[in-house]
Structure 1
């Protein structure tokens, strides 16, 4: 009896195992040989639902730039929304703190962009809604983070937009970070003239790029500067954020020649001598630089302290400190000016060189006497006019000392281009 009982239990176990296998197979293939089982019915039902949903969906397709999750996004013109087969009805852009950013949908309803540049190092969330011709809505969302100051660069430039300048004024761009890929940055900048003159860039170090033609700009021409630096990699991990176009006007041609030996300055305008003015240049101990120098700043009155340019007494104070130098115009970064002089006797001008390196013209204190030579020259000069010094015992000024790249030959100038 015990033996039969064991056999019976083993038989039941075996039968259960077989049935279990059948049950498992049934659960996996939905009925074995039945192609129209429950699984097929479920798949068909889902396909019908998907087809119905697709049929009911809006035909409008929204594209948000930048993509969701993007980082290091440019502050200018890096954010847009566009739609095809529909029109935009609502776009919202907010910072992670909830501050709304205003923007406008174009008149045709096809695009949107913010009204102003975005903030640096800020996370934004953008949501857009559009409708197709049947009024069915489409929605799209994206979040992104803008560039931080640490990984962006900008260039400040002279001259300013719409300014009228002299024929010697270069386009000078100073970058706030060192530029390692000079070729890429220079390729994103274009300077052209209505005169048709060839314009070439020249790098002074890693943070300054100047542009000029071979000869002075043609009088009464227009120069255009185009910056397309947005997204340009100036150095590893450092991108530009500027897209800008500016124009400036070249005025009449005026070049003044200071002869340190004869102590006279000849002012030539449009090829004709306009005036000859007695001057006092740098003394034998502190001669004026030779070379072509461009007026970069004008001040009706300014303070000049010798200590700021290395002229000090034994006590460390400046050898001079004149708080109201009249009619001063800068010629170099190192402190060379052409300016009025009211403290020297009238007899000095045209007869003796007495300054610390500047070019002095007779003037009155207060800068209010238009009959004085310095006042006349100030009133008749533009930023960008050229003052050329000759016959001084000093060396020629370095081209990077001020806006004075004209002291390089054309071959040397072009050699400094990264194009």
Structure 2
């Protein structure tokens, strides 16, 4: 009994010592305020790093496309200052992005010009870093202009193709197509096709939906279109698709039915081409409208003083083809209209009927001719893109 009582105190001393030592060891593992801990290894200390800069154009670069966007991008920091300046002190417009990580140019550059891009960024360490690049843009071997068959603010018909005519042949067709942007609301399926090396055409798969808004951009300036050929100037237009106006002219009944938004409004007596100069069958697209126009056979190769030649002034005329097919007022043939084809190929109407149709018509409207004779309209004669099926339009190699 006394021995057991004597052993107890020494045991409690040893346990107290162990608890005290454990507390000390535990305290030794607690990190200080200036250290980071990791479950995978020893403590590390964070290091503030400087920013780095990436310039989109390498120093000394030549032949840079003037249409491209020049950029300076910061990694591990933000852009504090940037500029793009020509050798004569011309400052190119540009801006730092909202997040501060990049600067981008906002306007095209000149041809054959030298510019210097300078950018400064600051990283987490607070040290500014500056990089500079001096480069030269491309000098064209040849320049071409582009024109469009539509104008800004225009209202057009449901058959309107979008035609881009270049002042010279284009060898890199893909580059030219990429330079053209067509945006529609609502979305409209369509495709490009080349009729010649200098004419690019886009048409919808089906007739446009009335009310569609179409924005067209031909951004050819500063772009290499093949073999050192560059565009001289960009083009742009926003247009609206108007009512669906479709006219069907029949050479057997000698009448033209006019439909507006699929509802027939009038059936007009007409006279088309006589057998020796029949009106080609096919689907035409209205190209232009004229108040007061001189019909001249010499414009398509028939001398005015020949047996088949003529030179006549008409009050109303609407062009349907390059080869000279119009619908127009023809008061001299009213007696034949509705019963006989007597024209040189045009669609003759009375003055009153021609005026009525022109009031409701616009470029891009559709006129279909049928039962008029042996001739067939060529897809390349005017804006006659609807002569080709969608499969033909999108065929490989077109």
* Normalised TM-score (structure 1): 0.68
- Alignment partner of 1:396 out of 368, 373, 376: 376
Give me the whole-angstrom Cα distance separating, in 1, the residues matched to 2:78 and 2:363. Answer: 53
Match of 1:86 among 73, 78, 102: 78
Distance apart, 1:225 and its partner CA: 5.6
Note if 1:144 corresponds to 2:124. Answer: no
SS in 1 for 2:163: strand
Answer whether contact 2:248 2:256 (CA < 8 A) is retained.
yes
Q: Is the 8 A contact 2:214 2:239 kept in 1?
A: yes
Deviation at 1:169, TM superposition (A): 1.4
**Counterpart Cα distance in 2 of 1:160 and 1:416:** 30
Q: Displacement of 1:257 after TM fit?
A: 0.8
Aligned to 1:30: none
Decide which moves more: 373-382 or 184-193: 184-193
- Provide the rounded CA distance (Å) in 2 between the counterparts of 1:182 and 1:326: 42
Is 2:345 the partner of 1:360? no
Aligned with residue 385 of structure 2, among 365, 384, 405: 405
Contact 1:264/1:278, CA 8 A, preserved across alignment: yes
What CA distance in whole angstroms lies between the structure 2 residues aligned with 1:100 and 1:117? 13
Alignment-derived partner of residue 339 in structure 1: 328
> Are 1:171 and 1:210, in contact at CA under 8 Å, matched by a contact in 2?
yes
Out of 39, 60, 71, which is 2:62 matched to? Answer: 71
C-alpha distance in structure 2 between counterparts of 1:190 and 1:340, whole Å: 39
TM-superposed deviation, 1:279: 2.5
Aligned to 2:93: 103
Deviations 1:260-311 (A, max 9, x none): 3333211012221111222232344332221100012233344443322212
- TM-superposed CA distance for 1:173, in Å, is 3.1
| Paired residue secondary structure (1:347) | coil
Q: Which moved more, 1:290-299 or 1:347-356?
A: 347-356
> Which runs of 5 or more structure 1 residues have no equivalent in the other structure?
1-57, 364-371
Describe the shift of the 1:155–1:88 C-alpha distance in structure 2 as closer, same or farther (beyond 3 A).
farther
Q: Partner of 1:386 in structure 2?
A: 366
Distance 2:304 2:236 in 1: 48
Counting matched residue pairs gives 348
Measure, in 2, the Cα distance between the counterparts of 1:256 and 1:168: 12
Q: Check whether the contact 2:304–2:311 (CA below 8 A) recurs between aligned residues.
A: no
From 323, 337, 349, the counterpart of 1:349: 337
Does the 8 Å contact 1:89/1:131 carry over to 2?
Answer: no
CA contact (8 A) 2:69 2:105 kept: no
Equivalent pair of 1:59/1:86 in contact (CA under 8 Å): no
1:6-405 alignment runs, 5 A limit: 59-84=50-75, 85-94=77-86, 96=87, 98=88, 100-106=90-96, 108=98, 109-129=100-120, 137-150=128-141, 156-160=147-151, 163-182=154-173, 186=177, 198-223=189-214, 234-238=225-229, 248-313=239-304, 319-322=309-312, 325-341=314-330, 344=332, 346-363=334-351, 372-405=352-385
Q: Return the alpha-carbon distance in structure 2 between the equivalents of residues 158 and 235 of structure 1.
A: 24
Q: Using the alignment, how far apart are the partners of 1:226 and 1:313 within structure 2?
A: 42
Preserved CA contact (<8 Å) 2:79 2:96 = no
* CA RMSD of superposed structures (Å): 3.9
Cα offset for 1:391?
1.7
**SS at the partner of 1:378?**
helix
Question: Which segments of 5 or more consecutive residues in structure 2 lack a partner in the other structure?
Answer: 1-48
TM-score under structure 2 length normalisation = 0.71
Partner residue in 2 for 1:10: none
Q: Matched residues in 2 for 1:146 and 1:80: separation?
A: 15
Change (3 A) 1:138 1:360: farther
Q: CA deviation at 1:227?
A: 6.5
